[in-house]
Structure 1
Amino acid sequence: MHKDVDRVLVSREEIHAKCIELGKQITKDYTDRGELPILVGLLNGSVPFMSELMKNIEMDVEIDFMDVSSYEGTQSVGSIRINKDMGTSAAGKSILLVEDIVDTGKTLTEVKRMLANKGAKDVRVVSLLDKPDRRTEDIEADYVGFTIPNEFVIGYGLDYNQKYRNLPYVGILKPEVYEES
């Protein structure tokens, strides 16, 4: 375990098992609707989760990415900044946004609104983590890996000032690390 991690919240093995479960459910749901989704990863945090998840979706999918930011350090700053939009058109497409964590919900609310305005057929969300205690927007993910408490988490794509994304698990960052900043 990394020296800055207080404790592991979700292990590598739990994440792997959950990606298999989510992949099966997503495959079933989209097959039942006769749709092929475009998986749109929200950079940078979604990359490890999206990589593991898409291996377990047993149908053809396209992938794309958006770079959308609302965080500085440990706090959501409230404004959404779009640094990179999708490379393909959303018009008439079924979009499955892949997110590392649903926290306040501000980012997802804005991205879903933007994609709807661009003519997406539907926009659904799959998130590795859900932190409902921090929600300020009325939004829920359609598929959730793990519901977690209101702790500052890192690892498996989640960062603190661009560090710790490569940890193979989700851990709780020791408060003294971010209280020093």
Structure 2
Amino acid sequence: MKLPHDLPEALATADVIHDRQVIEQAIARMAARIRNDFAGSVPVYLTVMHGGLPFAGQLALEIGALGLDLEFDYLHATRYRGATSGGALHWKHRPATPLRGRRVLLVDDIVDEGHTLAEVRAWCRQQGASDVRIAALAVKQHDRCVAGLHADYAGLVVPDRYVFGYGMDFKEQGRNLPAIYALKE
């Protein structure tokens, strides 16, 4: 598939998969499950940058409204570095919070094939985290995911197409769009 040149062209040739209202409803449902599962603890809430930022902020507010405290930190690890296919994992920032003995919630925009999240989850376990769970706004619908990797808390399903918006980028643009779009095939 030939990609559009820029964000306006991508938007003109994309379908809205999930609008803002649907996304916010999914996040509220996820927050309730997370609050129930982490009750009695203060998990380390690790936002996976950059894509996870819009979703993580909204999810954290919903969790806080339900009375669960979180200890915030972030990580920045990428396999894409601006490309449309991944390579080796490159760490730009590792969390400063000690993870030994802690419950960790990794928060990211999407589980596609899961290579980055699998490596990040393994790193958290190597740091001694007692429990590592994944919250993802979207899960791509296909059967190519890394064995054993899944979102413990998944908001929405998206088609196996190039998706962008609400944290997910189109050529490093459009992460702040308040909906999820998919390019036409």
CA RMSD of the aligned region, Å? 1.7
Match of 1:7 in 2: 15
Deviation per residue, 1:40-96 (Å, 9 max, x gap) = 00000001001111111121111111001012432122x111110002111111000
How many residue pairs are counted as aligned between the two chains?
172
Under a length normalisation based on structure 1, what TM-score does the superposition of the two structures give? 0.89
Q: Are 2:157 and 1:151 equivalent residues in the alignment?
A: no
Contact kept, 8 Å, 1:74 with 1:160, in 2: the verdict is no
Deviation per residue, 1:9-34 (Å, 9 max, x gap) = 11100111111111111111111xx3
Q: Which runs of 5+ in 1 are unaligned?
A: 176-181
Match of 2:42 among 36, 40, 46: 36
Secondary structure in structure 1 of the residue aligned to 2:62:
coil
Superposition map of 1:6-155 within 5 A? 6-31=14-39, 34-57=40-63, 58=66, 59-71=68-80, 72-77=82-87, 79-133=88-142, 135-138=144-147, 139-155=149-165
Secondary structure in structure 1 of the residue aligned to 2:167:
coil
Q: Which runs of 5+ in 2 are unaligned?
A: 1-7
> Match for 2:166: what amino acid?
Y
Find runs of 4+ consecutive structure 1 residues off by over 3 angstroms. none
Secondary structure in structure 2 of the residue aligned to 1:60:
coil
Secondary structure in structure 1 of the residue aligned to 2:100:
coil
> Match for 1:157: what amino acid?
G
Contact kept, 8 Å, 1:73 with 1:160, in 2: the verdict is no
Q: CA 1:136–1:17 in 2, change beyond 3 Å: closer, same or farther?
A: closer
Secondary structure in structure 2 of the residue aligned to 1:130:
strand
Match of 1:179 in 2: none
Secondary structure in structure 2 of the residue aligned to 1:55:
helix
2-structure distance, mates of 1:108, 1:150: 18
What percent of counterpart residues are identical?
32
Match of 1:168 among 161, 168, 178: 178
> Match for 1:63: what amino acid?
F
2-structure distance, mates of 1:24, 1:107: 26
Contact kept, 8 Å, 1:4 with 1:174, in 2: the verdict is no
1-structure distance, mates of 2:104, 2:41: 10
